[in-house]
Every structure is written in C-alpha cells, then in structure tokens.
Amino acid sequence: MKQLSPSRKKLVNNAVTYGIVIAAYLIIQVLNAGGMVSPSIQGQLVPICAYITMAISLNLVVGFSGELSLGHAGFMSVGAFSGVVVSLSLQEAIPSGPVRLAVAMVVGAVLAGLAGFIVGVPVLRLQGDYLAIVTLAFGEIIKNIINILYVGIDETGLRFSITNEAALGLAAGGRAILKGPMGVTTNVKLSSFTAGFILVLIALTVVLNLVNSRAGRAVMALRDNRIAAESVGIQVTKYKLMAFVTSAVLAGAAGALYAMNYSSLAAKKFDFNTSILVLVFVVLGGLGNIRGSIVAAAFLTVLPEFLRKLNLDQYRMLVYAIVLILVMLATNNETSRIFFASLRSKFLGLFKRKGGAR
C-alpha cells in the first residue's frame, strides 16, 4: 500500500475543502429551487458567506502567520463603507447590479488592503500581545472615524465632511450617502448567495495557494521559529506584511458583500465584538485549519437563529454561550481528538482497502 506523498496529500486535502464548499452551494441551490429552504436560512446565506471569508482571511494572520489580530472588523468596515459609497455613487453609471457589486467589492478590497498596509508596516514590527493591542486600537480608530464621517454626492462629485450633514454643502439634487453615526440608511441591496459563493471560492483559492507556496512556507517558518527563519535569510517584515495585507484585502471584499446585503448599516456594527466573533470562528475551527474555519463560521452564524426555533426567549443567548463553551471543550479535548483521529484513520483505511481491491 503506497503512502501518499506530502504534496499529494495536500492536494487531496484542498480538493476536499473545495468540494465541501461547492457541494454546500449546489445542495442549497437545489433545495432553494424546490422551495425547501426557510426564509430564515435564506436570509442568512449572504452573511454566512461573508463571515466564512472573514474567518478564512483571519486564519491566514492568526493561524499561519501566528500573529493575534484583534482588529479584523476594522478592515471589514473599511471595505463595507467604501463599497457602499462606490455602489451608491455609481448607480447611474453602472445600471447592472452584479457588475456594480463586483466593482464595489473590488474597491472595498483595495481600500481595505491599503488600510492593511498602512497599519501593517508599523504594527508588524511588534510581536505577541503588543501587536494584539495595537490592532485592537486600530479597529476602534476606524470605527470612530467612520462614526463622524459624512459623505455625500452631487453632480460635482463626492463630498466629505466630519462635522455634519449640512456642512457637506450638497448642491440641489445631491444626496448624503454616509451620515455619521446614522451610517448608511439608503443602501440598495445587491448581494446574492452566488456572489457570496464566488467570494468564498476566491478567498479559498488565494489563501490555499499562498499557504502552499514558497511565500507561505516562509510565513509559517517565521511563525514556528522567527530566529531560525531570519538566520536563513527570510525577510520578516515582507512576509508578515504579505499575509497581513492579503488578509485585509479579503476582509474588505467580505465587508462589501456583507454591507450590500442590508439597506442600513452603521459603523457601530464593526466594533471589537465583531473582531472577537471572527476570532472565535478561527479558534473554534482550529488555527491554520481552513476547512475548520469554514465550518465554524457557518455553524456559529446559524446557531443563534436555530436557537430561536426552540422558543427559549431570554435564555437564547445564554444557551448560545454554553453551546460555544461545550464545543470549544469538545474540540480541544485530548480524548475526543484521539477519537476523531481514529475515526478518520479508520475511514481512510476503508477507502484504501476498497481502492486496493479494485
């Protein structure tokens, strides 16, 4: 019986991840066509895709690069609001919804990447706890800036202000898009499940290819032993920044997708709690485990809505927390891990035997 070579094993592993995502998409589409998906699930498909992308991108920083980032919602916020502003200001120029969504997501991704670069250059000189605190502060700064930012559009172009709506000085026929703490209240919904699915696939491709490339191995080498990696000539800042900016770009695209799914959106949404939520997806799914991130993000997004069905009323969020703790304990328990590992090896053994018999 031939043992799979490491590269081949990785290929199979990645193929399984892609397979799960594509299969989930197809199953939902088929069920949807048959009218068997409840409105509750239907409404959550786009946020699930956005959160999956967030989890995949954060896993690149936390799991592969080994840096604890607590400001990921900040990048999502940059992508979300720039995406909305682009989409609303191009309403006349690009009548087609999907094209406008794509443009919004690209602009959101680029601006979030830019923010990631600006933050990353000073921040990635720090390590460990310091880096975590600085990213946390960055997330709050982004939130507070957007909270006082007013953006409007008239025939002369975009106008910005940080005082109030009247200070925009909009000409007749102009309209305010982003209104400080009120956020965006006149958004046009464009997101669809298919767009979300495509984004998840793109994120998967980018992250899996990066991780399995020369640069990815350099990033992981820096995580495992910084001194040893530096001693063989790996540039710390370059590779760390590469992972960080890639992660920010994907988070920006996810933010734009998320924002375009709601007709109102405020900066408050992207606070510390959202950063932690995404971090929980990553930790629950397993650091450096992309497939785990996907499953955890989908599971934890659906869970609170599923608990609504049980009519728990005020105990719903309490139950959510308890389930979260139990799942964390179960997945990080040595006994259960051995159990799952043995289960997997048995299944693999079964397949191999079948393959051998053929």
Nearest residue to 280 (alpha-carbon basis) of 68, 20, 75, 64:
68
Q: Does 305 help bind other proteins (rule: CB under 8 A)? A: yes
Q: Does 263 help bind other proteins (rule: CB under 8 A)? A: yes
User: Which tokens belong to 311?
Assistant: 């009519």
CB of 175 to other proteins, least distance (A): 11
> Total binding residues for other proteins by CB under 8 A?
40
CA distance 314 to 3: 53
User: Is 162 in a helix, a strand, or coil?
Assistant: coil
Q: Please report the sign of the dihedral spanned by the C-alpha atoms of residue 33, residue 34, residue 40, residue 41.
A: negative
For the sheet with 150-154, list strands across it: 157-161, 150-154, 175-179
**Nearer to other proteins among residue 66 and residue 183 (C-beta):** 183
CA distance 85 to 279: 27
Fill in the DSSP letter of residue 265: B
CB of 333 to other proteins, least distance (A): 22
User: Which tokens belong to 222?
Assistant: 């820096």
Contact set for other proteins, span 325-354 (CB under 8 A):
346, 350
**Nearer to other proteins among residue 4 and residue 167 (C-beta):** 167
CB of 73 to other proteins, least distance (A): 13
Which of 23, 36, 99, 141 binds other proteins (CB under 8 A)? It is 36
Q: Does 141 help bind other proteins (rule: CB under 8 A)? A: no
226: exposed, middle or buried (Cβ count in 10 Å: 0-12, 13-18, 19+): middle
**Nearer to other proteins among residue 51 and residue 75 (C-beta):** 51
Contact set for other proteins, span 40-79 (CB under 8 A):
40, 42-44, 47
Q: Contact region for other proteins (CB under 8 A) — 83-91, 202-210, 258-266, 334-342?
A: 258-266
Q: Does 266 help bind other proteins (rule: CB under 8 A)? A: yes
* DSSP codes of every residue in 67-112: ---S-HHHHHHHHHHHHHHHHHHTTTT---HHHHHHHHHHHHHHHH
Q: Does 148 help bind other proteins (rule: CB under 8 A)? A: yes
The residue length of the chain stands at: 358
Q: Contact region for other proteins (CB under 8 A) — 89-97, 152-160, 209-217, 266-274?
A: 266-274
**Nearer to other proteins among residue 64 and residue 138 (C-beta):** 138
* DSSP codes of every residue in 165-192: GGGG-PPTT-EEEEEGGG-B-S------
**Nearer to other proteins among residue 183 and residue 252 (C-beta):** 183
**Nearer to other proteins among residue 92 and residue 313 (C-beta):** 313
Q: Does 309 help bind other proteins (rule: CB under 8 A)? A: yes
| Spatial CB neighbours of 43, under 8 Å, sequence gap ≥ 6 | none
Residue linked to tokens 């932690």: 276
**Nearer to other proteins among residue 125 and residue 189 (C-beta):** 189
Q: Which residues bind other proteins (CB under 8 A)?
A: 34-36, 38-40, 42-44, 47, 144, 147-148, 164-166, 180-183, 185-186, 189, 262-266, 268-269, 304-305, 308-309, 313-314, 316-317, 346, 350
